[in-house]
Amino acid sequence: MKVLAAMSGGVDSAVAAARAVAAGHDVTGVHLALSPSPASYREGARGCCSLEDSRDARRAADMLDIPFYVWDVAERFGRDVVDDFVAEYAAGRTPNPCVRCNERIKFSAVLDRAVGLGFDAVCTGHYARIVDGRLTRAVDPAKDQSYVLAVLRPEQLGRAMFPVGDSRKSDVRVEAERWGLGVAAKPDSHDICFIPHGDTRSWLQERLGEQPGDIVDAETGAVVGAHSGTYAFTVGQRRGLGLSVPAPGGRPRYVLDISPVARTVTVGNVEDLDVAELVADTPTWCGPQPSLPFTGHAQLRAHGEVHDCVADVVDEALLVTFADRPRGVAPGQTVVLYDGDAVVGSATIRSTS
Amino acid sequence: MVYLDHAATTPMLPQAAEAMTALLAQPGNASSLHAAGRRARRIVEESRETIAAAIGARPSEVVFTSGGTESDNLAIKGLLWARRQSDSRRARLLLSAVEHHAVLDSALWLTEHDGAAITWLPVDGAGRLTPDVLRAAIEENPDDVALVSVMWANNEVGTVQPIEDLAAVAHSYGVPMHTDAVQAVGQIAVDFAASGVDAMTVTGHKFGGPLGAGVLLLGRDVDCTPVLHGGGQERDVRSGTLDVAAIAGLAVAAEVAVKEQPVRADRLRALRDDLVARMRAEVPDALLNGVPVDDAGARLPGNAHFSFPGCEGDALLMLLDARGIECSTGSACSAGVARPSHVLLAMGHDEERARGSLRFTLGHTSTKDDVDALMSAIAPAVERARSAATALR
């Protein structure tokens, strides 16, 4: 097969590309440039980290003796991932940019271009497996990324390769060493890639400005604090609330609700975060749609725990009912349905009750 | 491998490689006073004379540098600083809108950090600058002009500028002129003295010499403030221990390339014209950028530059690369990321036409087989690239 290996400059995508080569595929490496391009003249707008990552990816491709190119996807990434991220926070939701990137960039824009150029598949360093055509959890539970891939439809999964999904991270590093890849010991990346300093709150404030408002107690309706923008909060958040009025009995308070229009953040007791059911938009099935109602498990955040659930489609939305009342579910996040280790589908959480 | 990227760099001429190899292990700093130093100095000075003779300069006008970028930096910054020192009003740089980044970014740096100003000299749809445009730009205020810089031939579309006429205009106002002749030497006839320019950038690896060796030709009466300070080896204008072996290779390449230029240019022109004619047959809607090929003197003989409507240049490049055909989307100096060429934009083309362009440049090793290989690959590549064109938009 002709395989396009998306190479971030990290160890996982480098070993994924190496395995595609070892499997006998005709592999071409591509690094996706995600930062905005400077206009006519170079102004050094690209962060040093991404240039360094690009170089690491190039060196890995050198070692594998495969062609290597940089694809400029900054325009699409800015519009479909970064702008979406800002808009979601502005609307009081908590987005997952990795999910959006997989949905709209890696397995949409990049996959489409690859197929157009004659490639059969796109290979990435994601920790997930495709078993009998079904998206499935990785062997290494600590690294499993099936959650952020659950937005992919069968036709996208049919052209995806995740060669490291059946290995443990430690084995991937050892293998990188064996291939002579300089990235073998490169630290894992954790933060949101387009917020290199990791301070999401100040990054959002630069883009959305100060939007001061009240923090209100859910029970009494009393104003218990002030904030400079609802986008700095996530449902379930406890730290950094800066409340001026202590709760009766000194119990910790959590963010229960965010209303960007009223600029109000509502806080209350931990039990009020318990969720009996949720409604989620645009259900996407990774394989054939299951017979409904579907009884299985739901995961509500990346690396979060799973909950027994029953899911059904009502008015084109996914209605998920829980037996064990998960706690702190943020609208904007993705609910992913699992049948054992296999991913059934996903949807974007709209509301909980 | 089918190498159609000679404007990026051309393989070393065997004679140059031989001359250089023979010297690589030979000791001697050309500034040393002992026998080894004299031996090295002799090679440098003979090379200087050879280069001067090949390009119509006097030996004393040859300043050795590390290549085109350094020569351009030295010319733009050095001439501006010297001119401003003699008259503080002279802070305006007149540059064609299609200059190489080595000129363009040097000038931009001077505007951002050193109080200089730039007047961009517009070009026509073929990339040509006319003397009248230059005259009008100087007339805006003849007293504040520091220098004029116009490249002899463009690296992307191969347009040759009327350098003699432009220099005459500049000189009629007493303004010095620099030209970046990196793409011109060895491709077309270049004579420093006859051109009338005051400074000229030349680099070896574009005509069969080694990488990392170039020259700034600097008229004997032209003041130029140094950029690199140190031992003052080159006329006190450029410091740094001279690379004797590279200079010897550069001189041999210059001599051979210039001597063979008329014959090679005729051969490449015929090959290029064939390429352009067959491209029109293979991809009927491909658009030739720059000067029409029948205007032989106004376009570099080895240059063919096309826009392929509906294609992304980088996708085409990748598809051709996979077939063993090496070409370029234009200037290679943007970290691997495709950006619309400022040259094509200055010629009045839109971003889409600029993004969908490819440059094929022929050189001394090019043959008909190379053109044949390109022709058998280009139409399917264009078709594929079209089907993938809008995915990243």
How many cross-chain Cβ pairs, A to B, lie less than 8 Å apart? 69
In terms of CA atoms, which chain B residue is nearest residue A75?
Answer: B393
List of chain A residues whose C-beta atoms are within 8 Å of the C-beta of residue B338: 72
* B351 in reach of chain A (CB within 8 A): no
Q: Which residues of A touch B393 (CB under 8 A)?
A: 75-76
Q: How many residues does chain B have?
A: 393
B336/A28 Cβ within 8 A: no
A46, A67, A73 member nearest B392 (Cβ):
A73
* Euclidean distance between CA atoms A213 and A232, whole angstroms: 12
Q: If interface means Cβ-Cβ distance under 8 Å, which residues of chain A face chain B?
A: 28, 31, 33, 37-38, 40-42, 46, 51, 54, 67, 69-73, 75-76, 109-110, 112-118
Q: What confidence score (pLDDT) does residue A251 get?
A: 81
- Beta-carbon neighbour count of residue B361 at 10 Å? 27
Q: CB-based contacts of B35: which residues, under 8 Å, 6+ apart?
A: none
pLDDT reading at A65 higher than 90: yes
- Residue A46 pLDDT > 70, yes or no? no
A152-169 burial, b at 16+ Cβ within 10 Å, e below that, comes to: beeebbebbbbbbbbbbb
In this prediction, residue A163 carries a pLDDT of 98
Q: What is the mean pLDDT of each run of 10 residues along chain B (393 residues)?
A: 96 98 95 96 98 98 98 98 96 97 97 97 97 98 98 97 98 98 98 98 98 98 96 94 98 98 97 98 97 93 97 94 93 58 95 94 98 98 91 76
Task: Say yes or no for a CB contact (<8 Å) between A40 and B334.
Answer: no
* Mean local confidence (pLDDT), A218-222: 88
**Crossing angle (nearest 10°) for helices A11-22 and A169-178:** 70
Do A138 and A145 contact (CB within 8 A), yes or no? yes
DSSP state of A135: E
Chain B residue with minimum CA distance to A67:
B322
Using a CB-CB distance cutoff of 8 angstroms, which residues of chain B are in contact with residue A51?
Answer: 335
Q: Which residues of A touch B104 (CB under 8 A)?
A: 41
Tell if the CB–CB gap between A117 and B393 is shorter than 8 Å. no
Q: Which of residues 52-111 of B touch A (CB under 8 A)?
A: 101, 104-105, 108
Nearest-CA neighbor of A131 among A346, A347, A345, A343?
A: A343
Q: Give the nearest partner residue to B319 out of A38, A115, A117, using CB atoms.
A: A117
**B392 vs A: CB within 8 A:** yes
Q: CB contact, 8 Å: B237 with chain A?
A: no
**pLDDT at residue A219, rounded to an integer:** 86
Q: Which residues of B touch A25 (CB under 8 A)?
A: none
Which stretch of A8-17, A220-229, B75-84, B97-106 has the lowest confidence by average pLDDT?
A220-229
Mean predicted confidence (pLDDT) in A12-25: 98
**Torsion-angle region of A192 (φ positive above 0: left; ψ -120 to 50: alpha; else: beta):** beta
* The pLDDT of residue A50: 67
* Contact assignment for B392 to A46 by CB distance below 8 Å: no
Residue A37 has pLDDT above 90, yes or no: no
Please name the member of A37, A46, A109 whose beta carbon is closest to the beta carbon of B391: A109
- Subunit contact A116:B345, Cβ cutoff 8 A: no
**A49 a catalytic residue:** no
How close does chain B come to A109, measured CA to CA in Å?
A: 5
A48/A154: higher pLDDT: A154
- What is the C-alpha to C-alpha distance for residues A308 and A296, in angstroms, rounded to an integer? 6
Higher pLDDT, B308 or A248: B308
pTM (2 decimals)? 0.90
Task: Give the nearest partner residue to A69 out of B318, B385, B389, using CB atoms.
Answer: B318
Catalytic pick among A48, A49, A98, A101: A101
Task: Answer yes or no: is the ipTM higher than 0.90.
Answer: no
Q: Which residue has the tokens 């659950």?
A: A150
Comparing alpha-carbon positions, the chain A residue that sits nearest to B320 is A117
Q: What is the set of active-site residues of B?
A: 333
Residue A71: closest C-alpha in chain B:
B337
CA–CA min distance A111, chain B (Å) = 8
Residues of A in contact with B321 (CB under 8 A): 67
* Residue A212 predicted with pLDDT over 90: yes
The catalytic position among A98, A123, A193, A286 is A193
Give Dmax over CA atoms of chain A in angstroms: 66
Residues of chain B contacting A31 with CB distance shorter than 8 Å: 336
Q: Is A170 exposed, middle or buried (0-12, 13-18, 19+ CB in 10 A)?
A: exposed
Q: Are the C-beta atoms of B209 and B253 separated by less than 8 Å?
A: yes
Are B392 and A72 a contacting pair at CB < 8 A?
yes
For the cut 70, the answer to whether the pLDDT of residue A40 exceeds it is: no
The Cα-based distances of B3 to A309, B6, B15, B303, B326 in angstroms read: 62, 7, 20, 13, 5
- Write down the H helix ranges in chain B: 14-23, 35-55, 68-86, 101-113, 131-139, 163-172, 192-195, 244-282, 313-322, 342-346, 351-355, 368-387
Q: Chain A residue closest to B107 (CA)?
A: A41
Write out pLDDT tens, residues A66-120. 999 999 888 899 999 999 999 999 998 999 999 999 999 999 999 999 999 999 9
Confidence of residue A186 (pLDDT cuts 50, 70, 90): confident
CB < 8 Å to B342, chain A: 40-41
